[in-house]
Amino acid sequence: MSESDNIIKFQLNAKMAFVKSEKTYVRSKEVNVVKEKELPKRIKVENPLTKQHREELNYWINEWVTTSNLAKKPIAYGKAYNKLYADGLDGEVNGIGQIEQSEFQQCVSFIQQRIRVLETVGNKRVMRRKADYRSSRITAIHTRCKELGVSDETRKAYQLYRFKKGSMKDFTDDELEEYYGYVMRGTPRFFIPKKAAPSVQKDRESALLILLGILEGEAISKGRQFNRQALSYRKEEMLNLLEQREPDLFDISLDTFNEFWDMQKHCKARSGRKPGQSARR
């Protein structure tokens, strides 16, 4: 039997070929190995993550990966998720579809902790990015409140009640993130119990009294008289002076300031007066 008798000829466009030989050897430069998908560790999930949960978790994973690159300790996107499953959730899951809603905050907290560890490296780019990140968060909160029709008065009052801080610049990273989450999810109520509601009017009047004392001291040092019931400052100018000293309390519209001014009993401003002009003619 010749060698040609052991081969069945077929056309070039044929899809199948039959070889008589019992053994066939194939030489290939590439070998593709198909790995079977790992079986889920958690079969039953009562309350899986919502689409919004997944998007936020994906955001934090991206933050982790980006910060790791800036800190020159890079972690791949997939590896970050695997670390979350193995370390953040104690290896109980191996896929995002197995995470319960009750575990969502645990996942976010774990990732935030990893990010803080990377930030302590002290890389200047990480610190600079962190400042930009905080600024973008604060801007997003302001924007969202305007979209919801929440006034600055309501927002600041809620901040004072919940965080005991009038300015978001004084928030810790965790507080800022908590407030951001509250404002951005659903429809926040900004509810404050009546007994706990801070007296913004009282705080503003205290700031006004301090300013009046400073202005009076400056006038006396220059040999001038200072009459609190006939100030040489217009209300617009008083608002500007107060905002420079207490931006958390007086970053408000002129209409809101007028309401405050009408309620306070400590001084009166004369319309049309300019700073430096005598209060009497």
CA gap 115, 67 in Å, rounded: 7
Out of 36-40, 59-63, 79-83, 201-205, pick the least confident.
36-40
CA gap 244, 70 in Å, rounded: 36
- pTM comes to 0.43
Q: What is the pLDDT of residue 20?
A: 52
Query: 100 has which bridge partners?
Result: 48
Distances (CA, A) of 150 to 33, 46, 90, 101, 169: 57, 36, 41, 29, 19
- 239, 254 in Cβ contact below 8 A? yes
Instruction: State the residue for tokens 């002009």.
Output: 277
CA gap 96, 99 in Å, rounded: 6
Helix (H) or strand (E) holding 135: helix 124-148
> In sequence order, which residues have a C-beta less than 8 Å from that of residue 75 and are 6 or more positions away?
64, 65, 68, 83
> In sequence order, which residues have a C-beta less than 8 Å from that of residue 155 and are 6 or more positions away?
141, 145, 190
Distances (CA, A) of 166 to 124, 201, 246, 250: 29, 14, 10, 11
Out of 3-12, 38-47, 144-153, pick the least confident.
3-12
Out of 48-57, 100-109, 253-262, pick the least confident.
253-262
Domain ranges of the chain: 51-122, 125-195, 200-263
Instruction: State the residue for tokens 């993550």.
Output: 49
Count CB neighbours of 140 within 10 A: 13
pLDDT tens for 92-123 read: 999 999 999 999 999 999 999 998 888 877 67
